[in-house]
A and B are shown apart, each in its own frame.
Chain A
Amino acid sequence: MKHVSVVINGKAVSVPQDSTILDAAEAVGVRIPTLCYLKGKNAIANCRICLVDVKGQGTFQPSCATMVCEGMEVQTDTEAVREARKLSLELILSSHSWDCHHCLRIGNYEVAELEKELCDFCFFCDCVKDGNCELQALAEEYNVNRLPFDWAGDPYPLDDSTGALVRNPNKCIKCRRCISACTNEQTVNALGLQDRGSRLQVVPTMGKSLQDSPCVVCGKCIEVCPTGAIYAKEQYDEMLYDIRLDGTKTSVALISRALRPELARLLGLEPEELDYGKLATGLHKIGIDYVVTDEDAAAKAQSIAVEKLTDALDTQPGTLILSDRGPVIRFLKQEFSDLADRLVTYPSTEQQFGADARGQWAKSKGLEPEDLYTITLSGDCSCKSEAMEPGSTVNFALTPTEVSRMMNKTAMGLELLPAEDCTVLYPQRPQVALAWKPLFEQECTETAEVRLELNGKPVQAAVAGSLGGARKLLDQVRANASPYRVIRI
């Protein structure tokens, strides 16, 4: 790959020809702020926060989408560029609901006067993304104290039709990351645009509610949204209230491994620094009676999967589709209903935990199932959606964002707590045959192949990590051209 030399803020650097200015800046340690940008997924230059001054150009250029060329000279932080960024932020915030920084908006304070510790105690800013919002962070960085414009028009109603996933159009900055995730990664096509210009909106299909759209509540959009425009419904308040209301009830919480990466990030820790033992102590202190980790329930669920799969492999030829995820099953029903008879479902770790906590565990403790609250702290909103379904064995499923906010509101500082041992769900942990382990342990973003050896015979399998990947594999199955005996999604 041919290299070109460019100059960023006076520093010369040689970068591959297909680099953007943003890449080149990174190479010399210069940080350019971005907002709508998501590497490899969304580089459409619409927020204009990443604008830079390129010598010889009459207008500012978006560094995320502009390729470098030989001899390009770039200034990333001139006063004019910073003013343009600030005005962009002021314009965005003038069309954004005031759920944070009330004190700035009503003129009592300036950004420079804000103190983090006091902010943590103040509950005026009650946006679900408070402290975790990319727009808020940029507004603070650029000292956006007062807004030059008033809110125009009427506020849009919230869309909580799916129960677990909530849309607040009043906070949408039209960055289109959610559309990119829903359309390109997940190929669900539930989100899109409506109208143009100042009337532009991000809406579900045909402008209807999410429940009436192809949305499968996978929560990918929540993962990528930079603001509080799409989020998982918060239930920790309700949960804490419920578990304490009746002294005769017992609460059991499961901490899943999927919680770790995001919760650690929100707490400002490395993943391995997050001690589940300390988290258990914290949970006990706020009223949760028992805490378990997920190894037992996961193993139990997987062994059920293995049992069902083994049966199916004996009785059904062709490709089998294995999943425990609610969104996947919805997706299959919507897009691949013709392959329904190939589907082998097994309980999710969370639902298995709920069932066993209410079953053999409750019995072992001499508790009645109806006297239990089952809570899971897991990775994303699909667990929450699952928990909201009728017949769910889990009362409350909390997402990492909820857990971190709950910890904040209850002043649960892990660094001050000792680690405790977690309760064990089963007297003996169920075993999953070694031969099957690769199928369950393989992680991937789109698709990956797994070679299994069952009873001495090789079995080709594949794993899909996104619904887009699933679609690719399932299209193959539909065309009778799939080389896989088992596909796990």
Chain B
Amino acid sequence: MVMEMRITLRNVGKIDPRSIDDYIQAGGYKALEKARGTDPAVLIEEVERSGRLRGRGGAGFNTGLKWRSAMEAPAGQKYVICNADEGEPGTYKDRIILENDPHSILEGMLICAYVVGATEGYIYCRGEYREANEILKLAIKQAEKKDLTGGVRFHVASGAGSYVCGEETALIESLEGKRGEPRVKPPYPTVEGFRGMPTVVNNVETFATIPSIVEKGAEWFKGIGMPGYPGTKIFSLSGDVVNKTFFEVPTDTTLRDIVYGLGGGIPNGRRLKAVQVGGSSCGFLTSDMLDTPIDYDSMAQRGAALGSGSVLVIDDSHSILGILLSIARFFEHESCGKCVPCREGSMRMAELMDKIAGGNATWKDLDMVKSLAGYMQKSCFCPLGQSASVAISGAIDLYPDDFASVLKSEEVRNCEACQRSY
């Protein structure tokens, strides 16, 4: 019987998020104290050894390596930035942490600041999360009042409606008061980031997990879940599932356990058509793929992705086409517009999906979708464009009947056009 394991979410629902005393009483800021009494070099080894805590935002990059790169960069001013621009459709796990345990994020950021030598911390929180923005500001004031910030100056900066600002270099651009357009990498932010200085950008969930690792040690963390991606992961469920809520589980939990175990399965006696893990930028999984452990590498091996850990359950009452149209329109709207393949490609993809979902497309149009998808995956400037068409190209292979039921041949379509013009 699958059970939750609340490490990152240890305080959620148990403390008043607006009370720092609650957080401290629950054991909060002990890890920070311990960290400050430890040599940064030793601490960073702990984070690295924790089986490599891998970023929980979606990219899964080794956190210890990231911190080490910033630590070793020679510079006067360094920055720590928390990426709270949660925008991947289906994802709300960061909001849960922000609204219910803001101090866990601050503590994680302070530990990071201590390790890398940063004296300024920014939390870039999406503008739509009004409550989170306000709770964070309060938490910072409280921590400052209790003299816990140790000389690190915190700022909360609001986003203003842009999914691409979840990409770390686009986030930095936005924080610098510019358009949220991604930068060429390398140089990486840990070397040349915010205002050109060494910067660590980590996700909310990543920072919120740090205090536990520092407190309980790497060995403990490494022993949980899958070796290549240890610890726990928070999943946010949505769609046609009984328990539309969030769960934190060890990383060797299977998708089946999440959907049917904790999720309670599919309501109304319907059957599973697809599960989309990781949001609109990831592909679909069918029932036969549900026994995959949800860790980053196992998913990748199956040609799927863990991503942000959102789990959208889709039952067989839906045609995949409407969902794909919704995805295509999302990326068209969120494209930053810098590069040709994304700016023009996302527009044409939405146009084509509209035609297909509306029953006005031919097989030639489908061929174009496939070409466009392959092209965007190889040619776009940043991960937004590169992954915009992944769900669509995957669905063409998985649900050929959904497409076949609406596509026409050129001749039939031309015939209909003629008839309409009479």
Contacts and interface: CB of A to CB of B under 8 A. Distances in A.
A87 B381 contact: no
Nearest to B377: A59
Given A84-B378, A87-B375, A152-B347, A193 B179 contact: yes
Given A45-B184, A47-B340, A152-B347, A84 B335 contact: no
B332 A197 contact: yes
A148 B378 CA distance: 19
Interface in B157-191: 162, 179, 184, 186
Interface stretch (A91-99, A241-249, A281-289, A414-422): A91-99
Nearest to B347: A198
A46 B338 contact: yes
A91 B340 contact: yes
A45 B339 contact: yes
Interface in A193-220: 193, 195-200
Contact of B336 (A80, A92, A95, A196): A196
A149 B351 contact: yes
Contacts, number: 90
B253 interface: no
A439 interface: no
Contacts of A62: 184, 381
B91 interface: no
B386 interface: yes
A51 B377 CA distance: 13
B379 interface: yes
A356 to B, nearest CB: 51
B292 to A, nearest CB: 22
Contacts of B386: 59
A25 interface: no
Contact of B380 (A59, A173, A195): A59
A171 to B, nearest CB: 15
A195 B351 CA distance: 19
Contact of A88 (B335, B371, B379): B379
A101 interface: no
B348 interface: yes
Interface in B302-341: 332-341
B339 A198 contact: no
A51 B385 CA distance: 15
B344 A200 contact: no
A197 B184 contact: no
Contacts of A46: 338-340, 381
B332 A48 contact: no
A148 B368 contact: yes
Contact of A84 (B334, B336, B375): B375
A196 B340 contact: no
A197 B378 contact: no
B346 A197 contact: yes
A48 B341 CA distance: 8
B345 interface: yes
B338 A44 contact: yes
A198 B381 contact: no
Given A45-B381, A59-B379, A193-B179, A198 B371 contact: no
B244 interface: no
A4 to B, nearest CB: 14
A394 to B, nearest CB: 41
A199 B184 CA distance: 23
Contacts of A142: none
Contacts of A463: none
Interface in B339-384: 339-348, 351, 368, 371-372, 375, 377-381
Interface string A59-94: 110100111000000000000100110011001101
A174 interface: yes
A91 B379 CA distance: 13
B363 to A, nearest CB: 14
A149 B344 CA distance: 10
B343 A198 contact: yes
Contacts of B347: 152, 197-198
Nearest to A64: B184
A60 B386 CA distance: 11
A176 B336 CA distance: 14
A58 B386 CA distance: 10
Contact of A197 (B333, B341, B368, B372): B333
Contact of A92 (B179, B334, B344, B351): B344
A59 B348 CA distance: 21
A237 to B, nearest CB: 34
B299 to A, nearest CB: 17
Interface in A239-275: none
A198 B335 contact: yes
Interface of B: 162, 179, 184, 186, 332-348, 351, 368, 371-372, 375, 377-381, 386
**7 residue pairs, one from A and one from B, having the closest CB atoms:** A200-B337, A198-B347, A197-B335, A91-B344, A196-B337, A197-B337, A65-B184
Interface of A: 44-48, 51, 58-60, 62, 65-67, 80, 83-84, 87-88, 91-92, 94-95, 148-149, 152, 173-174, 193, 195-200
7 contacts: A48-B381, A60-B379, A67-B186, A152-B351, A174-B337, A196-B336, A197-B337
